[in-house]
Structure 1
């Protein structure tokens, strides 16, 4: 208890009244003492131990020269301070407590030059205008009042904010240093590291080891470039990334209390023009201004400016503890800080000179790397310093800041173990089939639910015994297998040589450092190649294609900025972070989306058609299973179609009898009615907005087989009009695009205006009323028993949503057709074909591809009348036009608007992307060619992880290019009236891709034909694509317009698709004849 009283005494000695600001001024006179004023403030007149304290003119009992006087003095002092007298008996050693408190280290304590409060955790400063540090949480040391509830029992355990370390470093170049940066961040416990002068081209994200993810951006190689590296605990909470320029990049991290905006900057250096500097600071102003008011903002980077020590006039943002003298660029930094109320954090902390210098070159030292935070959060900054001795960048040193931020609670991702179905091949498949035959499947003619439950249990049990299961949980880091002990020793030797050279500055040590650096780089390259040998051996095997696409997909996923979003916004725009709240928001969003129905008119019910369904045959079931693609995600039951295929005839015959049992009983298993919705981000808009996600529904594969049986029967019963090109045999998007281009060419040829309307239906699949669907099926003459079979599949259907926090609870779905179902496309086009059959004019004036509708008219008035009729017919069936996405295009231009039935004007455009091909109002294909080249580059960037890998063979790269990149470039080229200029554009883009894949440039003087031979890739030619299309005789069977009535021909000859096709066909035939000869 006695030392406790001493602490109380010290507390009263060092407490300051916050309402009255006093200075602690030094005095050289040795006779002045510390006087405790009535407000319990003190002035340091002398720092000598003998004359340390005096209380109201009375000698302090702690420093009294006679220990015998202490009890009486302590008693009087305790009465003045209202302490119990029983605490006045102090041992002799307590007199030195106050002296010990004053001798605490001052190196890492901040000093901003303002009024400083002292507390029990800090030392008593002998500094001009001293006050408490920005990070102090004990500004008043006296016991708090009861109303603050401090010291009282709490309902929950109080959690302290986590100390997060953010840093900045100019690396000079990232090439060959990513693993060292990861190791540096791990050793120094850095959570976020801003990097400058990366000299990397591109805008991607990648894993660099130890769970650290790097977000980088650069426009030109070997110049500028910025990046931000985020450690494992925080990378999953990155909500957005903003790449402004090759000098500015920012990202937003979700925290427990809000969001943390981190900006990495690389300011123009001295050699840059004033225009470049002004542009940089204007962009940085926009980035900081765009950060929400409540965000914790940190701007870190290489500012290339000295802020100096002078703080006059800038006391709020400058702490006065800088290095060197301020220059013109430093004035810009302070102006930026003043404009946005940012504090230059390093100037508020007293440090040694070695912990201040961030740049050292040619004997010159300076502080040009800074960390800025919002002034209101300055108290959360606990420390800022430079770390000397790190050999990552030759001239720059890393600067780090410890800030107090409440990080979100780390929750382990819930990943259930999965059966390794991909191993179901060869001998394993035979073993699985034998186990199923030994155990035996249940009798398929019994009760539906017990039979299916028993069959599913048997299949899953045998699969687990044969194939095994994954462990679940988070996948390990596979990107740094090469970081073994030998490599680490070489890198450590390099760092030791660097430190020795920095100490001696001798030429011999510099040569030793360069040698060690070269050896370390070679060791990293050898270890990396050895670790990847097994992978590349797989890529050269017979199953290389499967491994290649899997690897390309994994590398593309790793390059995405945001892989999952753990926080979403509610309907009011408020951010939800709690796991329960996030799951409930996803469930409520999809429940509302999938159960909302537009108003409609009642349709006249058709008479039901009597007649039984013919039993399903083995051949039909075998054909339905054949149409199912392998490797797709399974439904909630976890049984993929590969399980039934591996059973051979046993599985086909069992399913045939089971499906016939379902049809007779008009009941499906209850397990089939459940589905899982997976939200897929559209890669545009706010990632925390649920409306920017597309829900993909995972349904049981066995149910999909049954749906395909119904689909084949329905297609034989119902005939769809020729206006529809979607989900029908021998019809595709190319047919619809070809007809649209032909119409525009014919109108242009006769100098007549062409008006087109591209209609978009709002949530067409999700809003289709099921009552309308049943009525349409009866109108089309489908037997009532089949109608009831489809009804059974939709009645009582439920769904759950898979989120980053787990799977939500179930909710009912009462509107629309199933997304991801094999039967839904035909049900939708059949319904649409029925409700608008009186409006279909046939090609070319009406073109439909599922819910994409194109209308063509001679005038705007005629087009407006057509749109209004379609809008009325769709509204009667419970469907609605999306006015925001419906657009109008006219070859004649003009300002006349087209209105809907309610008087709302539609958007007019000069170009429209119709089914993936850009149509221009002037009828040219220039925009279409450029658009396809841009799409090819997007595919190229997705596959650069393989195409630019030096270890992959060029033959394999050529195969990937032909199957992934080239189809994207040549899509729709069958109906282009191309010119020589268009073909040159396509060939130029393709040769750039092929040369990069080969690792060659034009300086290597390798001709294009040799590169095509190496890559086994023929020359890009629209002639070959057109010949392939015409071999199916689609041109002669597709109903395109032969003429459009009267009109005057244009004077100049025009390039026409028809003539292009004829020329392509003849060239193709001539090439074939010459090849045969």
Structure 2
């Protein structure tokens, strides 16, 4: 009896080998879509549930092609920063003695890129993905103990011993939950302190990031998307192909029927812009201005890596940029990686995602030098009504001006019509050939235009989805998202369009004794002003007509038409086309006589920011 009890209390070895035998009832079917590594190309019948289970076990999970992230945060440590600088200098010194006398631009760039990445990999290493980072080491130790108790429960044959282990498991489980709860509260309190410090320093990006973390929302995760007909796409390859199809359509718009052909500026009309190769002073200033904490492009070089050893970075990049400047050729891998950002609505629809292009940081440094050459000169040529992407101006200035206009019209009983217009996907639909002609008509020198155009020659992008990179596809329309030169190019195109719209005759409101105010602009968001309905319709039609001359997929989106007559304030319909804009029974957002919120969208956005900040502060007090 004792021997039998001892035999029953024996437990198997902790290291078990699981053997999965064949299933005679499994039918894999005739197709091997997405399972070509598990089954052959020939089969018969229809796939059943047994085969799905078998293929799931057999199928090898595809590893992500996305690059691992470097631990850039370690550069904040002074000792590690010194090690990285020393490693970087040693590598460049060794290359100075062994490189060819006159390598081409691509070879020179590959050498610079590999040197930075290899030095960072050796000194900084890669970032480890942390799950539930709020758990402390003591809590993780308790979790390991509870795992061991779980194994004992499964391996114990004696009912008496199994019951004892289960009691210990329940006790330890309560300890783990209590410890995890305390860790979570301490972690939230720590985040609230970080939010307070970031708000005091004016780092609103950090405040917003902490707010999302406190809310527990991770909107950056990819969702399974549907095809254009609304059918579900089950495999990763089908979803990747759908993303390529979507962004290829968005970034490759059809040609305009009648593109504009503005007259280029003559030698007298050319702007006084320096066209000599970049200097070390310009490169140094461009690197210092580049913001930290931005995602790297396909080369994995971060701004912090360039700033760690500024003298070395200035020396190697100045030599590279001068070669690019003289030969009008850029490295072939200065391409773009499209990161998907979710918007509102059903995330299974690709149209509810916005693409942000991740570009090479060194290429951004070069573009910043170009922007510094043309920004001041172009700013003098733009209309005063434009406040987007211009130094010393902003959206709040336009809101303040528009509010004063509405209040004065109410006070003096003056008629006012406002048409709020947005150019849909203006960045992605600019016709490039027309854009270069418009830029040339504003007096930009041919040398700088050629340098800007080389970034668009054979420009390709790939979409980041589920940690993988899709196939590369060409981008033939619009300006590059994420490039610092793109806003000024868009402003030039919008400025040309609005000059043509308002050039025939005045249709605005009286601004001074001899001038009229036709519109208020913030990039591609316009507020067209008139004193009567006829003039408002004429300007809207002319805006739509000239839009078709430089946009490849023109589409005006009229948000609201605001009318202030002698009797009342009404909000008119949201239509555009050959039919005139007519009153409709829609939202009465601007009907209040004292105009408490003339720009509701902007004020709602400001209120959300204030609520987010207050939420971070209150989170700390609620945890005490």
Distance 1:575 1:794 in 2: 35
**Helix, strand or coil at the partner of 2:333:** helix
1:593 counterpart = 2:250: yes
SS at structure 2 position matched to 1:160? helix
* Equivalent-residue separation in structure 2 for 1:667 and 1:930 (angstroms): 44
Query: TM-score, structure 2 length as denominator?
Result: 0.73
Q: Distance in 2 between matches of 1:905 and 1:458?
A: 61
Shift of residue 678, structure 1, vs aligned partner: 0.9
Rg larger in 1 or in 2?
Answer: 1
Residue aligning to 2:153: none
SS at match of 1:597: coil
Is 1:948–2:616 an aligned residue pair? no
Residue deviations 1:553-606, cap 9 Å, x none?
Answer: 367257227652342111111111211110000001101110013524243364
Provide the residue aligned with 1:688 in structure 2: 348
Q: Is the 8 A contact 1:666 1:789 kept in 2?
A: yes
2:81 aligned with 1:420: no
Query: CA 1:725–1:908 in structure 2 vs 1: closer, same or farther (change >3 Å)?
Result: farther
Higher relative contact order (CA 8 A, sep 6+): 2
Is the aligned partner of 1:476 residue 2:131?
yes
Aligned pair in 2 of structure 1 residues 758, 544: CA closer, same or farther (>3 Å)? closer
1:678 aligns with 2:312: no
Match of 1:569 in 2: 226
Q: 1:423 to 1:520 in 2, by over 3 A?
A: closer
Matched with 1:789 is 451
Q: Which residue of structure 1 aligns with residue 50 of structure 2?
A: 160
CA distance in 2, matches of 1:846, 1:743: 12
Give the secondary structure class of the aligned counterpart of 2:50.
coil
Task: Tell whether the 8 Å contact from 1:635 to 1:698 is kept in structure 2 after alignment.
Answer: yes
Secondary structure of the corresponding residue to residue 419 of structure 2: strand
Q: 2:117 aligns with which of 446, 452, 460?
A: 460
Contact 1:743 1:844 in 2 (8 A): no
**More off after superposition, 775-784 vs 686-695:** 775-784
CA deviations 1:405-445 (Å, max 9, x no partner) are x9x99766655322211211312222212222112166897
- Given that 1:616 and 1:656 are in contact with CA atoms closer than 8 Å, whether structure 2 keeps it comes out as yes
Contact 2:416 2:530 in 1 (8 A): yes
* Aligned length in residues: 532
Structure 2 matches for 1:503-652, cutoff 5 A? 525=178, 528-529=181-182, 545=198, 553=209, 556-557=212-213, 559-560=216-217, 563-604=220-261, 606-607=263-264, 613-652=275-314
- Cα–Cα, structure 1 residues 775 and 534, in superposed 2: closer, same or farther, change >3 Å? closer
1:970-998 CA-partner distances (Å, limit 9, x unpaired): xxxxxxxxxxxxxxxxxxxxxxxxxx68x
Alignment of 1:963-1042 (within 5 A): none
Relative to structure 1, the CA distance from residue 568 to residue 780 in structure 2 (aligned partners, 3 Å threshold; closer, same or farther) is: same
What is the CA–CA distance in structure 2 between the aligned matches of 1:937 and 1:579, rounded to whole Å? 36
Distance of 1:708 and 1:738 partners within structure 2:
31
Aligned to 2:389: 727
Aligned partner of 1:903 in structure 2 is 579
Residue in structure 1 matched with residue 537 of structure 2 by the alignment: 864
SS at match of 2:345: coil
Once the 2 structures are TM-superposed, how far is the Cα of residue 708 of structure 1 from its aligned partner? 0.9
Q: Does 1:700 align with 2:360?
A: yes
Tell me the SS of whatever aligns to 2:221. Answer: coil
CA distance in 2, matches of 1:432, 1:895: 61
Alpha-carbon distance in structure 2 between the residues aligned to 1:541 and 1:763: 36
SS at structure 2 position matched to 1:853: strand
Query: Is this contact kept in 1: 2:139–2:176, CA < 8 A?
Result: no
Structure 1: tracts of 5 or more residues without a match: 1-142, 144-151, 164-255, 257-405, 491-512, 913-917, 951-995, 1000-1077
Residue in structure 1 matching 2:501, options 835, 839, 842: 839
Shift of residue 804, structure 1, vs aligned partner? 1.8
Q: CA deviation at 1:926?
A: 5.2
Aligned partners of 2:134 and 2:184 also within 8 Å: no
Deviation at 1:470, TM superposition (A): 3.0
Relative distance call for 1:409 and 1:762 in structure 2 (3 A) is farther
- The aligned counterpart of 2:439 is 777
Q: Normalized per residue, which structure has more helix?
A: 2
Q: CA deviation at 1:613?
A: 1.2
Tell me the secondary structure at the aligned position of residue 755 of structure 1: strand
CA distance in 2, matches of 1:705, 1:716: 18
Match runs of 1:157-236 below 5 Å: 159-160=49-50
Counterparts of 1:373-452 in structure 2 under 5 Å?
415-425=66-76, 426-440=78-92, 446-452=103-109
| Residue 837 of structure 1, CA deviation | 1.4
- Measured against aligned partners, the alpha-carbon deviations of 1:424-467 in whole angstroms (never above 9, x if no partner) come to 13122222122221121668974211000011011111111111
TM-score normalised to the size of structure 1? 0.44
Determine helix, strand or coil for the equivalent of 2:318. Answer: helix
- Helix, strand or coil for the counterpart of 1:948? helix
Q: Give CA deviations for 1:671-692 in whole Å, capped at 9, x if unaligned.
A: 11x110011110x221100001
Aligned to 1:709: 369
Q: Give, in whole Å, the separation in 1 of the partners of 2:526 and 2:396.
A: 15
Could you tell me how far 1:794 is from its partner in structure 2? 0.7
1:849 aligns with 2:506: no
8 Å contact from structure 2 (residues 573, 586) kept in 1:
no
Helix, strand or coil for the counterpart of 2:454?
Answer: helix
Q: Secondary structure at the match of 1:862?
A: helix
Alignment check: 8 A CA contact 1:608 1:783 kept: no
Shift in Å at residue 740 of structure 1?
0.6
Contact 2:597 2:603 in 1 (8 A): no
Separation (CA, whole Å) in 1 of partners of 2:66 and 2:218: 22
CA contact (8 A) 1:836 1:874 kept: no
Quick check: 1:911–1:921 contact (8 Å CA) kept in 2? no
Q: Offset at 1:871?
A: 1.2
Cα distance change, pair 575–476 in 1 and its aligned pair in 2 (3 A)? same
Q: Distance in 1 between matches of 2:341 and 2:70?
A: 24
Q: Is the 8 A contact 2:220 2:342 kept in 1?
A: no
Task: Mark the CA change 1:888 to 1:894 in structure 2 (over 3 Å): closer, same or farther.
Answer: closer
Q: Is the 8 A contact 2:461 2:472 kept in 1?
A: yes
Superposed displacement of residue 634, structure 1: 0.6
1:734 is displaced (CA, Å) by 1.3
Q: CA, structure 1 residues 536+687, in 2 after alignment: closer, same or farther (shift >3 Å)?
A: closer
Of 550, 555, 563, 1:877 maps to: 550
2:4 is matched with none
Mapped contact 1:864–1:900 kept (Cα < 8 A): no
> Structure 1 pair 888/533, CA: closer, same or farther in 2 (3 Å)?
closer
**Equivalent-residue separation in structure 2 for 1:457 and 1:413 (angstroms):** 22
For residue 677 of structure 1, give the secondary structure of its aligned residue in structure 2: strand
C-alpha separation in 2, matches of 1:667 and 1:940: 49
Q: Are the aligned partners of 2:256 and 2:431 in contact in 1 as well (CA < 8 Å)?
A: no
- Residues 253 and 429 in structure 2, CA contact (< 8 A), matched pair in contact too: yes
1:541 and 1:938 map into 2 onto residues whose CA distance is 17
CA distance 1:531–1:724, shift in 2 (3 Å): closer
Secondary structure of 1:455 counterpart: helix
Residue 696 and residue 565 in structure 1: after superposition, are their counterparts in 2 closer, same or farther (change >3 A)? same
User: Any idea what SS the aligned residue of 2:401 has?
Assistant: helix
